[in-house]
């Protein structure tokens, strides 16, 4: 086991072989990686374990640069396992390169069907037994999609948990993908309104960029196409505490004058690609709608719900906005089928993604009866203005998990755990311990 010492923290590697399909324990196996973090000087102490479940789907755990971010608080009392969920980071990869080895779209989709919250929780349970022994229990911290996974943990393996803390990630237990997006588009529209109220000069700037993209084929440095709809997807920034500022600065530097007149600047296109490309996290796009899929809720599959539901919100139509004098609205955390044409890293996975969208036999992810009888101390931060996870869905779920305490706040946005220097985690820790 390799050990790395950074300022204030000691990091160690853990690798574990797990079944691809936990229902077939003797079948194909893959590797899951976890990075242990402990405060410098406390490596040999008997500390309680905290497993961190990252957002996404398809996001690797954070790479510490020292005792930073929420680890500032966590390392006061825990030995932390930063879990790279299957398919991400140093776990067995799942991307266009590795998936090509599995065969065609059908084989790829069948493989990826095992990469949801239920499999992630079972992986975590095997890690728990490996590190703590069969009778050991640890705490779980779930951010965003990681909170969805933590809720699945409470449903199917609560015996492994001492306590559960969730931030920006209480899912709707019985919300279909259509329900999720019908609630999401109005929230995104409100974020747009707030952005344009803050930066009214961006209204014409955005209209000008969108009109240019309607009239010209624009390529990003990596070969992808920047369409007007792809440009709208920059609205995903609006769900973070500083996202509106980042978007504004990006837009204000969009143009440069070249030999043929004004054109979109290379620096602008490079920055846009950095925000929009799924090269580093293809599973986010491929699996995104499937995180909501449950056969008891979506018996017909998700079927590209974000695209289908978008038709119910014509204010997001680019052409109608440009034909009139309305602002062009940005979209949010939505995955559309055309992404698999415009993003080169997703193009080889297009058919597999379509097959997953049409899949109808997704197992249920939550056990409502078991959650109603929950005995694990649990607390959740619900961000009142969260653009990514609907607060009403979260609060409905909170009422249905016995003993779960909620902290509803608009002091932080969805990224509160990461940017609050431990303040969000500190409050959740005190809540699960009954100190507040």
Catalytic residue ranges: 144, 361, 414
Largest CA distance in the chain: 71
What distance lies between CA 187 and its chain's CA centroid? 17
Neighbour tally for 412: CB within 10 Å: 22
Is the CA virtual torsion 114, 120, 121, 125 positive or negative?
A: positive
Interatomic CA distance for residues 320 and 213, integer angstroms: 15
> With contact defined as beta carbons under 8 Å apart, do 261 and 327 qualify?
no
Which segments within 183-273 are labelled E, that is strand?
Answer: 255-258, 261-264
Helix, strand or coil, per DSSP, at residue 406: strand
**How far apart (Å, rounded) are the C-alpha atoms in residues 249 and 351?**
36
Distance CA 304, CA 214 (A): 24
Question: Positive or negative, the Cα torsion across 126, 130, 136, 137?
Answer: negative
- Residue 10: beta bridge partners? 5, 38
Cα–Cα distance for residue pair 72/426, rounded to 1 Å: 10
Report residue 315 as tokens: 């204010």
In whole angstroms, how far apart are CA 38 and each of 66, 123, 137, 163?
A: 11, 21, 18, 19
Containing H/E element for 29? strand 29-39
391-400 and 177-198 helices cross at what angle (nearest 10)? 130
């Amino acid at each position: 086991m390799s050990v790395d010492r950074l300022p204030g923290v000691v990091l160690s590697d853990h690798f574990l072989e797990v079944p691809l399909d936990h229902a077939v324990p003797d079948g194909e196996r893959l590797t899951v990686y976890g990075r242990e973090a402990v405060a410098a000087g406390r490596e040999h102490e008997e500390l309680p374990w905290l497993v961190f479940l990252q957002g996404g789907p398809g996001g690797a755990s954070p790479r510490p640069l020292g005792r930073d971010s929420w680890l500032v608080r966590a390392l006061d009392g825990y030995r932390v396992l930063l879990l790279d969920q299957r398919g991400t980071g140093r776990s067995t990869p799942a991307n266009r390169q590795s998936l090509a080895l599995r065969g065609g779209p059908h084989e790829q989709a069948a493989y990826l069907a095992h990469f949801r919250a239920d499999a992630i929780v079972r992986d975590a349970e095997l890690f728990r037994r490996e590190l703590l022994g069969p009778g050991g229990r640890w705490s779980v911290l779930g951010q965003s999609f990681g909170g969805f996974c933590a809720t699945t943990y409470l449903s199917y393996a609560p015996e492994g948990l001492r306590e559960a803390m969730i931030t920006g990630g209480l899912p709707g237990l019985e919300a279909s993908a259509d329900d999720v997006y019908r609630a999401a588009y109005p929230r995104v529209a409100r974020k747009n309104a707030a952005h344009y109220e803050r930066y009214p000069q961006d209204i014409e700037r955005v209209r000008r960029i969108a009109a240019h993209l309607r009239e010209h084929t624009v390529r990003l440095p990596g070969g992808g196409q920047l369409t007007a709809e792809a440009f709208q997807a920059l609205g995903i920034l609006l769900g973070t505490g500083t996202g509106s500022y980042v978007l504004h600065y990006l837009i204000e530097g969009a143009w440069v004058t070249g030999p043929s007149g004004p054109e979109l600047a290379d620096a602008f296109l490079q920055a846009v690609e950095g925000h929009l490309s799924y090269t580093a996290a293809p599973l986010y796009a491929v699996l995104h709608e499937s995180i909501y899929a449950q056969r008891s809720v979506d018996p017909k599959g998700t079927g590209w719900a974000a695209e289908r539901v978008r038709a119910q919100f014509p204010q997001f139509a680019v052409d109608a906005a440009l034909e009139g004098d309305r602002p062009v609205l940005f979209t949010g955390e939505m995955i559309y089928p055309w992404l698999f044409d415009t993003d080169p890293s997703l193009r080889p996975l297009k058919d597999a993604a379509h097959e997953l969208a049409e899949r109808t036999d997704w197992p249920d992810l939550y056990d409502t009866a078991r959650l109603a009888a929950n005995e694990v101390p649990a607390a959740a931060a619900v961000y009142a203005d969260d653009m990514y996870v609907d607060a009403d869905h979260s609060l409905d779920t909170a009422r249905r998990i016995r003993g779960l305490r909620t902290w509803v706040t608009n002091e932080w946005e969805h990224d509160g755990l990461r940017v609050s220097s431990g303040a969000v985690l500190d409050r959740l820790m005190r809540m699960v311990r009954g100190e507040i």
